[in-house]
A = this chain, B = another copy of it.
Amino acid sequence: MKITKKFLSYGLIALLVMSPFISYASSEVEHAASSGHSDPIAPVLFGLIIILLAAKVGGELFEKMNQPAVLGELIFGIMIGNLALLSGGAFSFSYLVEAEAIDIMARLGVMILLFQVGLESNIKDMMKVGISSFLVAIVGVVVPMVLGYYVSSWIIPEAGFNAHLFIGATLTATSVGITARVLKDLDKLRTPEAKIILGAAVIDDVLGLIILSIVSGIVISGTVSATSIVTISLTSVVFLIGSILIGLKAAPLIGKWVSGMKVEGMKIVTAFLFLFVMSYMADLMGLATIVGAFAAGLVLDDVSFKNKKEHHIEVLVKPLYCIFVPIFFVLMGIQVKLDAFLDPKIIIIALGITAVSIIGKQACGLGVKCPGASKLTVGIGMISRGEVGLIFAGIGKELGVLDDSLFGAIVIMVILTTLVTPPLLKWSIARKDKAVESV
């Protein structure tokens, strides 16, 4: 209770302090935009100023309360996104979400996050927990899918077979972004639980995208051929394993080639070219770009750039991480529309699938075959649906399977699972650390 009060008072003070600036600048932006002589980057700069201020004020408040900074970024994002609602329509920031350049920077942010996670991971260590990761991923896909289908057909039987199927599919994908960020903030990326979760999330992403392709196929054609299921599945697996194998061979050669270069900044530019090419390739194969970003980080981890004059690659990536990653999390918060919560029917559906999505992923603990790894932490680490859930919901809406209220319910599920993950994860890790200490 004390923390909630403290948070509320801090948040209100921050909003009060920020609002005159926001109000003044907001009207100035409109003025500058209408006068036409302004640099096109001006509204983007304004958006970046608000987003980075929110990220750092929110992050700092939550760190002071011993909560992960990412939660502060999300909640300050929600406050900014709903300023129109909170201020009685006096201010609005909807154009922050609509600005293409800021959206692209947020996507770059989540890529850099997964790249950094890949850099800090190690393929050999991940192999050791490979079987656990695989079992965790399979359980984490099948159980929520089945539960989601039945809960949907129980609460809203009128929505029909396709909608139940799609809601089930939406519950399969794990969003590794939030969990990875919390584990990184707590400096726990090298624990067995972290390796299992990250490995499972990648396999999960591949499995989820296969299911999405198959479900979309059923919805569009009314049927799906065995050939296309096999093709989709094979492409994904071959890409991921193939790119890692080729990357492991290519990386030392690239490192050697770069070391002979005279021009400045070759190391960071080569690393980012690697990141961009791998992410782009993943997208071409129909996978999420973040799968490619993670693979790029995994592979580059083992590169020994010969250029000793420059800093270590993780030192070079960090400033880009600090600027771009918070943009992604604040923007995720901004996209939350609190007015959706005013409809009681949406709340019932949302709470139902949220409960199922949390319980469903707890079955993942059954897949953990690693002695000493906490089944609870792994189950909790798999809860967050984040941006992958939002992508699924968006496609469902596009295909006409999900109406606005079902889409709203899924968005709420994504938010709740995302909000619930950091504190639960923090609690379960502290619990295990305590248990280890008392032994």
Contacts and interface: CB of A to CB of B under 8 A. Distances in A.
Interface of A: 25, 28, 32, 37-42, 44-46, 48-49, 52-53, 55-56, 59-60, 63-64, 69, 100-101, 103-105, 107-108, 111, 185, 261-266, 268-270, 272-273, 276-277, 279-280, 283-284, 286, 288-289, 311, 315-323, 326, 395
A315 B315 CA distance: 9
Contacts of A48: 276
A104 to B, nearest CB: 4
A392 to B, nearest CB: 12
A209 to B, nearest CB: 10
A63 B262 contact: yes
A155 to B, nearest CB: 29
A318 B268 CA distance: 10
Contacts of A45: 276, 279-280, 283, 289
Contacts of A266: 56
Contacts of A60: 261-263
Given A319-B265, A319-B319, A323-B269, A284 B28 contact: yes
B37 A395 contact: yes
B319 A40 contact: no
The complex is assembled from copies of this chain, and their number is: 2
A265 B322 contact: yes
A49 B277 contact: yes
A262 B108 contact: no
A104 B107 contact: no
Given A273-B52, A395-B37, A264 B316 contact: no
Contacts of A277: 49
**In this complex, which of A41, A48, A272 has the most chain B Cβ atoms within 10 angstroms of its Cβ?**
A41
Contacts of A280: 25, 42, 45-46, 49
A31 B279 CA distance: 17
Nearest to A316: B319
A164 to B, nearest CB: 22
A378 to B, nearest CB: 25
**In this complex, which of A44, A268, A319, A323 has the most chain B Cβ atoms within 10 angstroms of its Cβ?**
A319
B262 A64 contact: yes
Given A37-B286, A52-B276, A269-B56, A44 B104 contact: yes
A28 B286 CA distance: 12
12 contacts: A39-B289, A40-B107, A41-B107, A41-B111, A42-B289, A52-B272, A53-B273, A100-B100, A101-B105, A185-B264, A265-B323, A269-B322
Contact of A283 (B32, B55, B284): B32
A48 B274 CA distance: 11
Contacts of A262: 60, 63-64
Contacts of A279: 41, 45
A283 B42 contact: yes
A318 B104 contact: no
